Structure 1
Amino acid sequence: QADEAQFKNTLLKQLRENEKRSSSLQNTTNQTWFEAVCRVLEGLLSAGSSAPRPSTAAQDRIILDVKPNTKFSVWVSFCEIYNENIHDLLEVAPSGVPRRPALRLAQDANSNAYVKDLRWVQVSSAEEAFRVVKLGRRNQSFSSTRLNQLSSRSHSIFSIRILSIEDDDPPRVLTISELCLCDP
């Protein structure tokens, strides 16, 4: 839980700094918001690695205090809510079908809500996570309005799930943390 809190605090700090530089978080041409997320992911994915990661500034360095036998597995998903339906933005619509199938909300055994059949993709770098976002953006629903020709008319949710794994025999999951970002 300490790793999760440290990750969230670092991410929130990066998001606030980038928000000051950017007037619009949803502008598809503006990548500063997601660059903050990428830096945090890069720091997390390199935790425990002996190879230092390049950084643009000293305050961008992310240091996690992790045990040597702890590894992280990072998974991402990207969905949208459009016309009261949930769609997986990583699912390509079948040929000849104008829309992807609608997904539905479900509950697990602990009454936690989740999107049933939502695709989760394992990423090993911030660049891979960014490619996932770009793919999802291409699949996002758009509809023009009088004031905005490229209005998304939907809400998107980019989720990052981090598994802290004890590298033992057999490996075991220590914690699962999830961060959901709405309208990235």
Structure 2
Amino acid sequence: MSTEEVRDQTVDLLSRELLGPMHGPMEKVSRRPDRTYLVGTLFPRSTESDPTFEFGTEGGDEIREYENEQSETIGLERSNEWMPSSMGFSFIHNGDSIRCEIEFGLYHPVGSGRTREWQREPKGPYSIEIPSGARGPFDVEPGLQLWSKWRNTGQGHLVTISLVNTNLTDENGKMAPESAFFQVECRAMSI
């Protein structure tokens, strides 16, 4: 076996184990999916007061901080929290618009008690065309929004694409797996 084949098999195994789905697009898993898969998940936002990102305001991007019930300021350190509710990437292109393709999986409980399993429902690909300068939000699926920010570089555009889970945890901060998006993929193409 060549080193390339070993590498490809290793990458495939790690992808199935950490990102999923392990058992195909319509899999059933016996553990909660948020306990099964470690990466590629957009979790619901906390119902606690979180900093709100004002995307593309007149004066530029800014983080607005709010105070929680204990009057302590919640700062940027929460942006690297264990359960992210957004993802994004930036790229440069010289077209007049872009097309984003988004795919993910939702997991729904099947059965109850000790026999409960989680059934995956594949979603997408959704295709969203974004004209130059459009910001969003663009609704992908209930609870999932796509945002964009365009900046002129003089020789094209620097574009930032963000996917945001707008679902919320319950009042106790508990997360229902049904409100998370798993195995999230987003591709952008200049058109």
Larger helix proportion, structure 1 or 2? Answer: 1
Instruction: Answer 1 or 2: which has greater strand percent.
Output: 2
TM over 0.5: no
Q: Which of structures 1 and 2 has the larger relative contact order (alpha carbons within 8 angstroms, sep 6+)?
A: 2
With normalisation by structure 2, the TM-score equals 0.28
- Between Structure 1 and Structure 2, whose CA radius of gyration is higher? 2
